Structure 1
Amino acid sequence: MPTLDDQQVKQAFRRVLGGPRLSAEYVQRWVGRIRCDGLGPEGQLLLAIGDKFYRDFITDHFLRDILAGMYEELSVELAVGWVIDESLKTEAPLPDQPPPRFAHPAAPVAPVAAPGAANGAAQSTGYRLDERYTFDTFVSAPSNQLACAGAIALAEKPGSTFNPLFIYGGTGLGKTHLLHAIGNRLLQLDPSRRIIYLSSEQFLNEYILFVRENRMPEFRRKYRDECDCLLIDDIQFLGSKESTQDEFFHTFNALYSLGKPVAITSDAIPAEIPGIADRLRTRFASGLTADIQEPDYETRVAILKKKAEGLGFLLPDPVAHYIASVVQKNVRELQMALNRVFAHHSLTGQPLTVDLAAHILKNVLPASRPLDIDEVQKEVAKYYNVSLDDLRGPRRQKQLVRARQVAIYLSRRLTENSFPEIGAKFKRDHSTAISSCEKIEKEMGSDLQLKKELDELVNRLAR
């Protein structure tokens, strides 16, 4: 496990309590009674609570979300060690029927101000919109361009032909970010708007709760009459839930008929979601359907730079390129890797280098280590089917020149070697190394084949 200190853990715990996984009402009533004491002697998360009854209640209903949030913050899976501290004991009774894990609070929670909105004016209901997730902090790229453009259009022109917006793609690629960005932009433009953001599992659990308590008129009033925008995540979890699908169908129709924006995310296109009624598939596909794909190498670098900027520090180019080369699956893993590097740097004051990044990430990415120029040369020579001697030699055939320039570019991006050191490895001076990098950088913006070759080589070198 990477080195963590108590202060890091306590700060992460506070961020989890203030984050979107837990509703404000639940934190105020129950979860906020927990005290985080940092890490125990065996690296477990130490949580103090007033008595064993509250401990069991929290464990049954909230611990999974707390630990998931801690993993998102620290990129570490933590076990829990409970401490009973009677000074934290409260006389407030536990509810007779505890809320389901994802149930919305029945009473409205405190509104969340959108960026730039007057304090207390915004009307986001239930689970919070995360103010960090805006269009300004989203990196638009070919892998997500249509989804991003559709989200902006829906937020700025809610009655447009892009309603509903259906975004699909794998885990951790930015679908949830765009939902929050839509809500934040709507509130920025009109703080009086009532925005509901939740997952389909939360919708399901709240529906069950309201049915059990004979409060369906209140449920329908909340989602149909008092909602100006519905943002629903992971709709695939409604698969085979027929009665909940029926309720969602009528909720969708009520909002759509009034021109109110609806944005939905899923891990698959409407036609491929198991157990979803045909009439819902038709509704989902009636507006704009857009996918988000895995970010390519250059997009991963841009994402790291943007997120580092949000954390308030400058990520050196070699480190950004190194992380982008070894973390390839999704944006969430990039964020976790960056969080680790930033935490280590800010707490120790050590300068950020590729070697340091590799050391910090070695527990997450066991194969991660800095590349050297020899490895880059071997992989590039193999990819372009040329010999190492020719790659390093004086011959100027077109294929050789391309391979040599690519190898020099990747050596600069994926190692910490200077231009003179790189030039020496290719039996050239530093000015030739500089011009090779500049040429590749210039051409990759318009040469799609070159961009594809670079992505494939980066992926190979990361294995």
Structure 2
Amino acid sequence: MGLEHRWSQFLEAVKTEIHATSMELFELLAPVEEAQDELVLSHPSEFMAGVCAETSMNGMIFDMVVAHWPGDPPKRVRVIYRPSEVQPERATLPLFQRPSDTAPPAPRPVAPPVASRPSIGSPLNRTMSFQAFISDNSNEEAFYAAERFAKLEDAAHFNPLYIHGQSGTGKTHLLHAIGNHVNKCAPERPVLYFTGDQFATIIIDHIRARRVDLFRSATQLEGAVVIVDDVQLLANKTKTIEELFNLFNWHRLRGAFLAFASDLPPGDIPGLSERLASRMSEGLVLTVSTPLYETRVAIAQTWAESLAGSRDVFDAEVFELLADLFNTNIRELQGAVKRLNLRRELKGLDHLDLATARQMLSVEMAQRQSKSPEDIARIICEQEGVSFEKVRGKGRTTRLVQARMWICGLLREETTLSLVEVGKLLKRDHSTVHHSLGRYEKHLETPAGQARREALRRALRAN
């Protein structure tokens, strides 16, 4: 099978996996050679060949080739510049827009050759839908707002939408779900999705090429939905922030819909201009926090089902262990489920019990227990303004009871201690610890409780 034929097969396979925007990029690439585990591709635009070779776009191309290459995939992909005497005929639709399934596009002027107008933006992850998102008190407001926002015609009070919270709490999933819903229900609307680092890289590349005007013309699309993730990565990047402000203003003045996500609220991002921060805040700003314990268990079960076809390949206690160990970042939890399932398959096990799972996760468990349980308890006592000795005593003042509650909850999240072991540390029986954990979970249903937990976690990491 020749290289040209394999490339054609690859294009057919990838066509169903990515948005039409990214497909334009792959259709302009041409195979040059495949040798020594390296696939060499060419692009007819010198500028875009450089972008593909030096930015995060190269990683996206490589990932798609590895996933869909017919036969053994290459270990490296390199993009070079090779001019084409005849530019390929391209559709007259603007960048990012997909043709409607039900009606032909309205006549419009013929677009310039696509080789001079690079596709900009990242493909959406089609597995990230609203149906696949597990919601609880930690994210229900953001989930509801994102669903309403994605309906567009009913989203005036939600626009612009800004979601912030620590890494691994579902912000990216909600943004992709918005984009996927718009692509499905309003395919005539262009969806522009960027990550903060990709947006900065694209701006830098265009500045170097002295073609910022090219970026502006490619992104100024009527009726677009603009989505920018990880806005905090633009901190102190003055020129990039200026271009984001221009993009925001151009679309906002035309009634477009804009959604953002960040680890920080708009006003806390260093170097973000006051005018941009205020515009981002004029719609709806919402916070997401770490999902509750039961939700983490459900997420782990869902991932096990998607990987192995059934959650029954893991003992119920294994999901509880995972939810305890990986309690601050859902990406880490999902990664742990994948590693456990891989290790189960390598050992040829049909079922994974708790003891075997503990052995398989021994490294992760050791890393999580770098502080002793007593160290954790003493740090919490210091933050709560009480002594560890009094917490272990018989006192029942509000501050002592509150400190015991936080110690019980965080020891269960930060260590693998059993209820009995936590009770021994605090000189309490396991039923008292169980009662404290019930109060702890109830406390986390409030924004104040979630904020206090995050503050205590930061203190644990800082000490």
**TM-score normalised to the size of structure 1?**
0.60
1:319: Cα distance to partner? 1.1
SS in 2 for 1:325: helix
Flag the 1:51–1:126 CA change in 2: closer, same or farther, 3 A. closer
Name 2:70's counterpart in structure 1. Answer: none
1:24–1:110 CA contact under 8 A, matched in 2: no
The answer as to 2:316 corresponding to 1:323 is: no
316-325 vs 185-194, which moves further: 185-194
Equivalent positions of 1:40-59 (< 5 A) are 48-49=37-38
- Tell me how large the CA RMSD over aligned residues is: 5.8
Over 3 Å counting, the alpha-carbon distance change for 1:368 and 1:288 in structure 2 is: closer
Question: Once the two structures are superposed, what CA deviation does each residue of 1:17-46 show, in whole Å capped at 9, x if it has no partner?
Answer: x789x955666667988989xxxxxxxxxx
Q: 1:349 to 1:226 in 2, by over 3 A?
A: farther
Q: 2:206 aligns with which of 206, 209, 216?
A: 209
> Cα distance, 1:298 vs. partner?
2.1
Change (3 A) 1:201 1:160: same
Question: Given the superposition, is the C-alpha separation of residues 352 and 201 from structure 1 closer, same or farther in structure 2, using an over 3 Å criterion?
Answer: same
Cα distance change of structure 1 residues 265 and 32 upon mapping to structure 2, 3 Å threshold: farther
- Displacement after TM superposition at 1:247 (Å): 2.6
Structure 2 residue identity aligned to 1:360: M
Say yes or no: does 1:282 pair with 2:243: no
Residue 290 of structure 1 aligns to a residue in which SS? Answer: strand
Distance (Å, rounded) in 2 between the aligned partners of 1:285 and 1:182: 19
Conserved in 2, the CA contact under 8 Å of 1:200 and 1:232? yes
Q: 1:259 to 1:309 in 2, by over 3 A?
A: farther
Question: Who is 1:61 aligned against?
Answer: 54
The residue identity in structure 2 corresponding to 1:136 is: Q
The structure 1 residue matched to 2:227, chosen from 231, 243, 249, is 231
1:240 is paired with a residue whose SS is coil
1:187 partner amino acid: N
CA positional deviation for 1:238? 2.6
Aligned equivalents of 1:133, 1:49: Cα separation in 2: 31
Secondary structure of residue in 1 paired with 2:359: helix
> Contact 2:33 / 2:41 at 8 angstroms: preserved in 1?
no
Q: For residues 292 and 183 of structure 2, what CA distance do their matches in structure 1 show?
A: 32
**CA positional deviation for 1:108:** 4.5
Amino acid at match of 1:184: N
Select which of 300, 310, 332 maps to 1:313: 310
| Larger deviation, residues 292-301 vs 238-247 | 238-247
- In structure 1, the gaps of 5 or more residues are 1-13, 37-46, 74-81, 97-106, 370-375, 384-402, 423-432
Q: Distance in 2 between matches of 1:52 and 1:280?
A: 40
Q: State the match for 2:354 in structure 1.
A: 354
1:145 aligns with 2:140: yes
Flag the 1:444–1:368 CA change in 2: closer, same or farther, 3 A: closer
Query: How far apart are the structure 1 equivalents of 2:32 and 2:336?
Result: 31
1:300 and 1:324 in contact (8 A); partners too = yes
1:201 to 1:226, Cα distance in 2 relative to 1, 3 A: farther
State how far apart, in whole Å, the 2-side matches of 1:131 and 1:283 are. Answer: 29
1:76 counterpart residue number: none
Distance 1:302 1:344 in 2: 21
Alignment map for 1:317-396 (pairs within 5 Å): 317-346=316-345, 348-350=347-349, 351-366=351-366
SS in 1 for 2:300: helix
Cα distance change of structure 1 residues 110 and 128 upon mapping to structure 2, 3 Å threshold: farther
Query: Aligned to 1:167, what secondary structure does the other structure show?
Result: strand
1:354 CA drift (Å) = 1.5
Q: In 1, Cα distance between the equivalents of 2:184 and 2:326?
A: 34
Superposed, which structure 2 residues align to 1:13-412 within 5 Å? 24=23, 48-49=37-38, 61=54, 66=59, 93-94=80-81, 108=95, 126-158=121-153, 159-207=155-203, 208-209=205-206, 212-214=209-211, 216=213, 218-226=214-222, 228-311=224-307, 312-314=309-311, 315-346=314-345, 348-350=347-349, 351-366=351-366
Q: Which amino acid aligns with 2:269?
A: I
Q: Deviations over 1:102-133 (max 9, x none)?
A: xxxxx9579699xxx99x99xx9742111111
**Change beyond 3 A, Cα 1:252–1:53:** closer
The change in CA–CA distance for 1:226 and 1:343 in structure 2 (over 3 A counts) is: farther
Pair 33,302 (structure 1): closer, same or farther in 2 beyond 3 Å: farther
Aligned 8 A contact 1:195 1:227 in 2: no
Distance 1:206 1:199 in 2: 11
Task: Give the count of matched residue pairs.
Answer: 377
Check 1:221–1:27 CA distance in 2 against 1; reply closer, same or farther (3 A cut). Answer: closer
Structure 1 residues 34 and 201 mapped into 2: Cα distance closer, same or farther (>3 Å)? farther
Partners of 1:183 and 1:305 in 2: CA distance: 26
